[in-house]
Amino acid sequence: MSGRHCRPGTLRVDYGFRSTTSFLWGLVCIGIIVILIIYNCWFLYVPYMTWLYFDWSTPEQGGRRSNWVRSWTVWKYFKDYFPIHLIKTWDLDPSHNYIFGFHPHGVLVAGAFGNFCTNYSDFEELFPGFTAYLHVLPFWFRCPLFREYLMTSGSVSVSKKSVSHVLSKEEGGNISVIVLGGAEESLDAHPGKFTLFIRQRKGFVKIALTHGASLVPVFSFGENELFKQVNNPEGSWLRTVQEKLQKVMGFALPLFHARGIFQYNFGLMPYRKPIHTVVGRPIPVHQTLHPSPEQVEELHQTYMEELRKLFEAHKRKFASWLFGVGLHSAVPSSVPCLDDFPPFAHALPSISGDKPPVRKPPVKATFSELS
């Protein structure tokens, strides 16, 4: 078992804003503050730094969303570019709070952002009476200026305090969207392959029990098809460097590429691949203020089984390129699989037509339970 743990009070899950693009934007925002200080523009940075001091805990108290920002026309183009679709399979009760477990992470997590952080998705129509909060790595809320933009989209911190705040609404109607795979999963986001990291992720189950919030598995088909990633198998020098950087900085930096603006051979623009984000059946959770390890494990197993059923029910409709005649040309020479979620392995046929081998799942990064 890996020795990597998260800071106490922080869920070991995060969102695609850890990507290279957001990392650069964060550096730009920090650079602006540094320039203001160097050129002694105190009348600009002093008021802002004072504001930042008093506003520091806002990302853990529901954030500060802006319908104006969420309604920017650019998000409509963003949604239509792929395009992004939201599919509901079950009605939810607005008098309850829910945790959406989002899978897979992919590189960009475009499905999570497009569906839950903009006003151009079908979320309000499909789930009337609900407010969705996308939980993001706390690091990004420590970046001056960038944190302000991040909160306007409806993103909040993924700390224990933040998740508890969202799920504590007595009248219900709140949804915590958590990308459970986190940084480790983004490093395995390759086209034609699903690799989920969930076997050791149990903190979200414990907090669901504590608040009595129903769990809902969400699978976003097409998420891994948006970028190609530089080959980084376990044990390679690149993977070793990425994991060390992740340990130091708290987020991963996958080396990805796709297409350009005017050509399709190379660039950082994602490929135009449809994304279908399917919201599964809710798992009722009875509130238990002090859940036992046995209760956490039982609910965790139930969640994994519901996630497997969700994938099985929709794989041929939204991931048809993995099956049938086009399989040989659609996937690489290796058998697509879900290394860390064996129930998925038998669902994906091998290229030769033989029964696909089920590899022993490696134990990837632990998930520190909430304390």
Tokens 């697509």 — which residue? 336
Neighbours of 357 (CB within 10 A): 9
Query: Nearest-CA neighbor of 9 among 165, 131, 155?
Result: 165
Neighbours of 192 (CB within 10 A): 17
Structure tokens at 16: 């695609």
pLDDT string in tens for the chain (371-residue length): 333 344 444 443 433 334 445 556 667 877 888 888 888 888 888 999 999 999 999 999 999 999 999 999 999 999 999 999 999 999 999 999 999 999 999 888 899 999 999 999 999 999 999 999 999 888 889 888 899 999 999 999 999 999 999 999 999 999 999 999 887 888 888 898 888 989 889 999 999 999 999 999 999 999 999 999 998 888 899 988 888 887 777 777 888 888 888 888 888 889 999 999 999 999 999 999 999 999 999 999 999 999 999 999 999 899 876 654 222 223 333 323 333 333 333 333 322 233 333 333 433 332 233 32
**Positive or negative CA dihedral for 145, 151, 153, 156?**
positive
Query: Nearest-CA neighbor of 367 among 219, 204, 253?
Result: 204
Structure tokens at 265: 């051979």
Task: Please tell me whether the overall predicted TM-score, pTM, comes out greater than 0.75 for this model.
Answer: yes
Q: Beta strands of 167-244 (E only): which ranges?
A: 174-179, 214-221, 228-229
At residue 186, the 3 state secondary structure works out as helix
pLDDT number for residue 254: 86
| DSSP-derived secondary structure for 285-297 | ----SS--HHHHH
Whole-angstrom CA distances from 369 to 82, 104, 315, 316 are: 36, 21, 31, 35
HSE toward the beta carbon, residue 213, CA cutoff 13 A: 30
* Interatomic CA distance for residues 175 and 115, integer angstroms: 13
In sequence order, what are the residues at sequence separation of 6 or more whose Cβ sits closer than 8 angstroms to the Cβ of residue 132? 100, 116, 123, 154, 175, 177
In sequence order, what are the residues at sequence separation of 6 or more whose Cβ sits closer than 8 angstroms to the Cβ of residue 363? 1, 2, 199, 200
* Interatomic CA distance for residues 366 and 371, integer angstroms: 15
Asked if residues 158 and 137 have their Cβ atoms less than 8 Å apart, the reply is yes
* Interatomic CA distance for residues 92 and 198, integer angstroms: 24
pLDDT number for residue 251: 72
Structure tokens at 329: 């040309």
Tokens 């238990």 — which residue? 288
HSE toward the beta carbon, residue 263, CA cutoff 13 A: 4
* Interatomic CA distance for residues 279 and 116, integer angstroms: 12
pLDDT number for residue 37: 86
Structure tokens at 67: 């319908």
Q: Which residues pair with 102 in a beta bridge?
A: 179, 218
